[in-house]
Copies of this chain bind each other. A is one copy, B any other.
Amino acid sequence: MLQTKEIDLHATETYPGTQAVARAIALLKAFSDAQPEWNLTDLAQATGLNKTTAFRLLAALEAERLVMRNPLSGGYRLGVELIAMGGTAMRSNPLRAASRPILVTLAEQCGEAATLELLVESYVLVVDEVASNHPMGMTQDVGNRLPAHATATGKVLLAALPDAQLDAMLPGPLARLTDQTIVDPQRLRAELTQVRQDGFVVASGELEPGFVAVAAPVQDRERQVVAAISVGGPSLRLTPDRLPEIAAMVQMSARQISRQLGYWPG
C-alpha cells in the first residue's frame, strides 16, 4: 500500500506476492445469495479496498467472465465462468466420486434424500444430493451453503473441530432459523459432545420447520473427519421410531465411504 497503511484485520494468513489475487478473491467472496449484486462503491467499502483497485480487479474478473454486469443497473454479479468452474470442481471432487454410489444406495434404502456435505468456514456446503423416489421432497440444494449449527451434518462436522478452532468459528450468538434452532452456544457444545460419543446426530426442525435429518461423519486415512453424509425428509415420514434404523444405515454408509478413502477402522 502506498499511504493508508491499514491494519490487516481478519488476516487470512496472506502469502507474500499474492496481494492482488487475494483481493480479487475477496471481491468474489463478497457475493452471496443474500446480496448477489453490488455496485462499485459499496463493494469496495465492504471489502476494504480502494475504489480504483476494486474497479481494476473487477475489470479483470469481468474480462474472464468470472463476474458480469447488469446492463440496466451497471451492478456487478457473479459470471457464467464461475458456474462452469463450479461444475468442474464438483464433478472432479474426489469425495463426491467416492461417495456417490453409496449415497444412491442409501437414498434407495431409506426412501429419502441423501446428501454429502462439508464444512466451509461456519457453513456446510452441499456437494452432492441424491433425491428420494418419493414424489415430494425434491430440494435442489447442491452448491448451497447452510449454517452449520442448524444442520445435522454441520453438527457432525463442528464436533470434529478442535476446541480452539470452534471458539474462533462461533464467536457471537447463533442465528435463529426456526423455534427449534439451537441458539445457545452451551447447548450446542453439549450436543457436539454427544455426537462424538454416538457417532451420529439428528436435527429436527432446526433448519426449517418439519424437516428432519440424520447425519454421520466421513473420515479419511488420517482419521480426520473430512465430510458428513445425511438422510433427510419431512417429519411426517421420518418419525422418531424410524430414526434408530435410519441412523444405523447412515452410519454404515459413512463408514463405507470412509473405507473408500483409505480409512481403516480399529
Contacts and interface: CB of A to CB of B under 8 A. Distances in A.
Interface of A: 12-15, 17-18, 20-22, 24-25, 28-29, 31-33, 36-37, 56-57, 59-61, 63-66, 70-71, 77-94, 118, 120, 125, 127, 142-145, 220
B85 A17 contact: no
Given A86-B82, A87-B143, A120-B84, A60 B21 contact: yes
A18 B56 CA distance: 7
Nearest to A81: B120
A80 B18 contact: no
B83 A93 contact: yes
Contact of A13 (B56, B63, B77, B118): B63
A15 B80 contact: no
A77 B60 contact: no
**Copies of this chain:** 2
Contacts of A15: 56, 59-60, 63
A39 to B, nearest CB: 15
Given A81-B120, A82-B82, A57 B93 contact: no
Contacts of A83: 86, 89-90, 93, 125, 127, 143
A89 B93 contact: no
A78 B70 contact: no
A136 to B, nearest CB: 13
A75 to B, nearest CB: 11
B80 A120 contact: yes
Most buried by B among A20, A37, A144: A20
A69 to B, nearest CB: 11
Given A93-B83, A143-B83, A22 B60 contact: yes
Contacts of A33: 88, 91-92
Contacts of A57: 18, 21
9 tightest A-B CB contacts, nearest first:
A86-B86, A87-B143, A36-B92, A18-B60, A78-B89, A82-B89, A20-B20, A21-B60, A25-B64
A97 to B, nearest CB: 10
A22 B82 contact: no
B59 A127 contact: no
A228 to B, nearest CB: 14
A32 B88 contact: yes
